[in-house]
Structure 1
Amino acid sequence: MEKYSQFRDKGTAIAPFLPIPSPPANVLWTPIHALLFALRLFPVLSISLFYFLLLEILPIPTTIKKCVLWLLLAVPGVWWVDLQVDGVKRGRLSDKQAAGALPNAGDIVASSFTSPLDPLYLAGIFCPVFVRTWPGAKGVQVITLWGAICMAFSRPQLAPPAGTKLVELKQLSKRYPDSIICVFPESTTTNGRGILPLSPAILTLDPTTKIYPVNLRYTPGDITTPVPGGAATWVWKLLSKPTHQMRVRIARPLYNSTSIDTPKTEKASAVDMDMDMGYETNIWDSPHMRNGLHVGWEGKEETGQKVLDRVGEDLARLGRVKRVGLGLKEKTEFVKIWKSRRR
């Protein structure tokens, strides 16, 4: 892959747009993979058509919709094997301690974006309002769950198409006060090995609105879709393997303000929160630690870039990856070269 070396981040040598190859498969397992694919294809198609053509538009309880989405994830063998929430010990999500650690109505979920399974999982948990972002636009476009899934296979767009109705997140929060809003701030998919520069759409939020960075990872990682197209190949990878493991990390809530770090009621347990920061991360590497002491954002210049940096740092920490300088412009160039050389 040296011919794509120009699409490696200069500081980290990470290539966030290259597809992750599937693990070597034993030829003896080929009939089993084919059988799994054949057995799962019809149920997945049936459930998908039932949900997206009928259930999604009907005014029925969200619990029923969530159950159908979980069934849609279970049939291909996508198992939610691990969930970690900053500041909450394992097995304590039902305690009072976790009351403010999970998103609620009126909050924002800023999620990493690597696979069509991301919006499916987020819809099955939070039933949010999905929006699409662009790197140079502060406005967002409201999309459906199906639109979010299709976005994982679509070509990157540097700007919204002409005639697209954009709205700021602050206005959207007022329009949907009883719903969680899900944002993919990277504006495109990656292979999960780096966090791209974030869209400024988050900066339109009210300073008191909670922003929850969420990172999702899969094992094996070949079901990510950093390159647009290839839906048929992706469906084969999804349905032909026995299982796919999903790991979810949720960070502490952030705010669109550098003068707000954590509500006073949560600051007392801030040290405990940093002790459970995700993938066995060293707490001394945390953005909240300086010279061995826990610090906030007080005294810093209140700029939008620092808010975006804070969200990006949490997404990178949760995923145990690094932030990269490559963005949508570089991915657009990468896709052109990738498609031309593949032909």
Structure 2
Amino acid sequence: MEKYGQYRDRGSGIAPFFPISPPPSSPLLLPWHVFLVCIRIPLLTFAWLVWLCLIQWLPAGSALRKANQWCLLGIPGVWWIDIQVDGVRRGSLAQTPGGRLPYPGTIIASSHTSPLDVLYLAAIFDPVFTESYRNSKQVRPISQETALANCFSVTNPLALGTELETFELEMLVRRNPGRIIVVFPEATTSNGRGILNLSPSLLSAAKDIKIFPISLRYTPSDVVTPIPGWLEAFRFIWRLNSRPSHCIRVRIGKALTISTPSTFDSLEDGSPASKAKLRATADRASVGRGSFEANFFDTLQATSAQKVSGESETDDDDGISATEKRALDAVADDLARLGRVKRVSLGVEEKAKFLQAWEKGRQSRK
């Protein structure tokens, strides 16, 4: 694996694109695994055909749609779901105050590692799925089937010059007032061991629209699909259906809104406690009252006019200002905290290069 060392994060050494090996299993259990697959595949195929031919045309949020989605999860053994919400004690989820969970008119920024992400979010929220791109603030609304297929691909149509009908998130929320919008800001799947660089798609949301970061992790952890292709799809189906059960660990963060940074006078109160807090969060975007606030230390070398407005005049190569970059950093930090992983300095472009090297290595091994 040393020849793939350039596709590891330089700071942490995390390799987010490598497939995860399945846990060791006794050869004596192989007949049991084969039996489970033979029983589940026909049932899963039937449930999926019912969805394609009938259920998907029913109104969003209907009981039959959610029942079908739960069948698609339950048949392969996805029965155990551990849900935790920021600010809500364990065992008191039923008493969760309003506004702590995603609701129609809000956006979900979800981690992306497996097709189970799509199935679980569809079963719980029945949302509108979108496709994000590395170099665009706009998204493309897609069907559930396309969202599942994207888990086994790494194409970036906008980067390739393909013209697609895309929208800003603000417009998409207005067009679907009774639906939740799901965004996968990493724009591709990983193995769940790190949070990739986020695309700027979340920046097109209106400043008053709430964004809920959600982290999804699985046990066993090998039901992830960082490598695209039909071969990996068959491996995923085998691993998913050959085990008695799977567990999903769901972590829902506090709602955030992208807002214009305020002045820094309130941050410069001079108290030791305030200075210590600012130093502790110097490399992170400071989040307060559900909004992205500009970081004080990021403005120490700014001009006085920039300090008053809280804006930065410099853009990076993708046309994202420093203020917008801090907003994306805040979402990425939340996803990393919820998933108990680290952020990595890799993204869609690095994954595409890794897959080219991976394919060449696989051909040389034949």
Pairwise TM-score range, normalised by the shorter structure: 0.7 to 0.9
> Partners of 1:143 and 1:9 in 2: how far apart?
31
> Partners of 1:5 and 1:318 in 2: how far apart?
27
Match of 1:135, as an amino acid? R
Written as runs of structure 1 = structure 2, the 5 A alignment for 1:204-223 is 204-223=204-223
Structure 2 equivalent of residue 333 of structure 1: 353
Contact 1:258-1:306 within 8 A present in 2 as well: no
> Partners of 1:232 and 1:118 in 2: how far apart?
17
> Partners of 1:199 and 1:101 in 2: how far apart?
25
Give the deviation of 1:63 after TM superposition: 2.0
Written as runs of structure 1 = structure 2, the 5 A alignment for 1:152-231 is 152-157=151-156, 159=158, 162-229=162-229, 230-231=232-233
Contact 1:138-1:200 within 8 A present in 2 as well: yes
Which of 316, 327, 331 is equivalent to 2:336?
316
Structure 2 equivalent of residue 36 of structure 1: 36
Residues 141/298 of structure 1: CA separation in 2 closer, same or farther (3 Å cut): closer
Structure 2 equivalent of residue 145 of structure 1: 144
1:297-335 deviation per Cα after TM superposition (whole angstroms, max 9, x unaligned): 656435111110110000000000011101111000011
> Partners of 1:295 and 1:186 in 2: how far apart?
20
1:250-304 deviation per Cα after TM superposition (whole angstroms, max 9, x unaligned): 00001112548xxxxxxxxxxxxxxxxxxxxxxxxx999759xx97365643511
> Partners of 1:311 and 1:30 in 2: how far apart?
42
> Partners of 2:279 and 2:172 in 1: how far apart?
30
Match of 1:339, as an amino acid? E
Unaligned runs of 5+ in 1: 261-285
Residues 168/257 of structure 1: CA separation in 2 closer, same or farther (3 Å cut): same
> Partners of 1:114 and 1:105 in 2: how far apart?
24
Q: Which moved further from structure 2: 102-111 or 81-90? A: 81-90
Q: Which moved further from structure 2: 103-112 or 77-86? A: 77-86
Structure number with higher relative contact order (C-alpha < 8 Å, ≥ 6 residues apart): 1
Written as runs of structure 1 = structure 2, the 5 A alignment for 1:1-150 is 1-59=1-59, 62-95=62-95, 97-150=96-149
Structure number with bigger Rg:
2
Residues 250/258 of structure 1: CA separation in 2 closer, same or farther (3 Å cut): farther
> Partners of 2:15 and 2:287 in 1: how far apart?
32
Give the deviation of 1:57 after TM superposition: 1.7
> Partners of 2:354 and 2:108 in 1: how far apart?
28
Which of 253, 256, 263 is equivalent to 2:255?
253
1:67-123 deviation per Cα after TM superposition (whole angstroms, max 9, x unaligned): 11111111110123310000111222222x431110011000000000001010001
> Partners of 2:77 and 2:287 in 1: how far apart?
42
Unaligned runs of 5+ in 2: 263-276, 296-309, 312-322
Q: How many residues align?
A: 315
1:231-253 deviation per Cα after TM superposition (whole angstroms, max 9, x unaligned): 11111111111111110000000
Give the deviation of 1:3 after TM superposition: 2.1
TM-score, with normalisation over the residues of structure 2? 0.82
Structure 2 equivalent of residue 283 of structure 1: none
Contact 2:154-2:348 within 8 A present in 1 as well: no
SS at match of 2:66: helix
Contact 1:92-1:98 within 8 A present in 2 as well: no
Match of 2:356, as an amino acid? K
Q: Which moved further from structure 2: 60-69 or 153-162? A: 153-162
TM-score, with normalisation over the residues of structure 1? 0.87
SS at match of 1:235: helix
Structure 2 equivalent of residue 275 of structure 1: none
SS at match of 2:141: strand
